[in-house]
A and B are shown apart, each in its own frame.
Chain A
Amino acid sequence: MRDAEFFRNWMAAAAAVVEREADRLTELDSPIGDADHGSNLLRGFTAVRTALDAEGPAAPGAVLQLAGRTLISTVGGASGPLYGMLLRRTGKELGEAPEVSDEELREALDKGVGAVAQLGGAAPGDKTMLDALLPGVAALATSYRAAADAAQDGALATVPMQARKGRASYLGERSIGHQDPGATSSALLMGALADAAERVEGAR
């Protein structure tokens, strides 16, 4: 079972990896975006860490809902509402239970990714976050590390795709040959989840 601390660890790991990779995310966002993905997510996840420390939510669902709400209000770019909805919907699905099972988390994340698809209107292959999130969540049934690896593979697979959503879509064929920054940060988020799970394993 996973308690609130597990989810706080996940968000802390996400904040740490975003901090480490912010420059690379912004670099990926330069040729096909507006070169702010790294700095936007850094601002968002730094605010998430502060909010979680200040409020200390006691249930897994509450942790993710607070994180999602904070991202919506602090990121400033399209990734704010998209990641915000991912975490908020997932948190709402988890409800108020003090502990949740891996199976419950998998089902909740599936709903969360559905909310991202609904909000952004993207489909698989459009060169978006979904191209990492969908294979990632599908591989959760195997293990958290398998999910992180599948999301990473999904992010790499966006390189030959032509963007069909967001600013990059205005570039048409010129968006081909670049890795999507949103898919890349989605893989980082799934990687942070695997890190949080392995930290629990290591402590046992």
Chain B
Amino acid sequence: MTGGHGDGGTLPALVGVVLVSHSAPVAESVAELARGLAAGGPVAPVAAAGGTAAGGLGTSAERVVAAAREVDRGAGVALIADLGSSVLTVKALLLEDELPPDARLVDAPFVEGAVAALVAASAGAPLAQVAEAAAEAYAYRKV
């Protein structure tokens, strides 16, 4: 391995990760945390889609679509949502084919799932394995 970047090179493209939260600071902070913990080599693209367009708490379909396009390198996009309208908005966008092909809502806890997904994606895992890694975060018991 040469540790090359997925963009435009000969290595396969990396899966992108989108974090959808009711809160813009939560989505951005979790993205920063995941980037920090995934560092050590090339990091897969990750984008935050938090809050409403007006800056309040809620979900903006436009922000979700824009974030998914931003991280799409052709290898698929894993979306992780926090709760309520975040989950429903992603599901509705998927049902309406408004996200890139091979976009998928990943069933995972928000923080732990984001870290697991980005570590896996940065290691070059395909979308199915990225989703699996994120979902496995549910199995980690804290007590």
Q: Which residues of A contact B (CB under 8 A)?
A: 34, 36, 40, 69, 72-73, 76-82, 84-85, 88, 115, 119-120, 166-167
Return the contact of A72 from the options B57, B58, B92 (Cβ within 8 A): B92
Residue pair B95, A72 in contact (C-beta under 8 Å): no
Residue pair B58, A40 in contact (C-beta under 8 Å): yes
Question: Per-position contact with A for B33-68: 1 when CB-CB < 8 Å, else 0?
Answer: 000000000000000000011101111111000000
- Check A78/B96 contact, CB under 8 A, given A40-B58, A72-B61, A73-B62: no
Q: A61 CB to closest chain B CB, in angstroms?
A: 15
A73 to B60, alpha carbons, bound, how many Å? 6
Closest 10 pairs (CB-CB, A-B):
A76-B58, A81-B92, A81-B88, A78-B85, A76-B52, A73-B61, A78-B84, A81-B89, A77-B85, A78-B88
Question: Per-position contact with A for B83-98: 1 when CB-CB < 8 Å, else 0?
Answer: 0110011011101100
Contacts of A82 in B (CB 8 A): 88
Q: B36 CB to closest chain A CB, in angstroms?
A: 30
Residue pair B88, A120 in contact (C-beta under 8 Å): yes
Instruction: Give A76's nearest chain B residue, CB to CB.
Output: B58
Residue pair B91, A119 in contact (C-beta under 8 Å): yes
Contacts of B88 in A (CB 8 A): 78, 80-82, 119-120
Question: Per-position contact with A for B75-116: 1 when CB-CB < 8 Å, else 0?
Answer: 000000000110011011101100000000000000000000
Q: A187 CB to closest chain B CB, in angstroms?
A: 21
Extra contacts, 5 of them, besides A73-B62, A77-B84 (Cβ < 8 A), are A36-B58, A40-B58, A76-B53, A119-B88, A120-B88
- Check A72/B89 contact, CB under 8 A, given A40-B58, A119-B95: yes
Residue pair A80, B95 in contact (C-beta under 8 Å): no
Contacts of A69 in B (CB 8 A): 96
Instruction: Give A84's nearest chain B residue, CB to CB.
Output: B92
Residue pair B96, A88 in contact (C-beta under 8 Å): yes
Residue pair A76, B96 in contact (C-beta under 8 Å): no
A120 to B88, alpha carbons, bound, how many Å? 7
Contacts of B91 in A (CB 8 A): 81, 119
Return the contact of B95 from the options A76, A79, A85 (Cβ within 8 A): A85
Contacts of B84 in A (CB 8 A): 77-78, 166-167
A132 to B120, alpha carbons, bound, how many Å? 44
- Check A119/B92 contact, CB under 8 A, given A77-B85, A81-B85: yes
Contacts of A79 in B (CB 8 A): 85
Residue pair A76, B62 in contact (C-beta under 8 Å): no
A40 to B89, alpha carbons, bound, how many Å? 14
Residue pair A76, B92 in contact (C-beta under 8 Å): no
A76 to B53, alpha carbons, bound, how many Å? 8
A84 to B94, alpha carbons, bound, how many Å? 13
Residue pair A80, B96 in contact (C-beta under 8 Å): no
Instruction: Give B57's nearest chain A residue, CB to CB.
Output: A34
- Check A72/B52 contact, CB under 8 A, given A81-B89, A82-B88, A167-B84: no
Residue pair B93, A76 in contact (C-beta under 8 Å): no
A79 to B89, alpha carbons, bound, how many Å? 10
A85 to B93, alpha carbons, bound, how many Å? 10
A124 to B88, alpha carbons, bound, how many Å? 19
A77 to B60, alpha carbons, bound, how many Å? 9
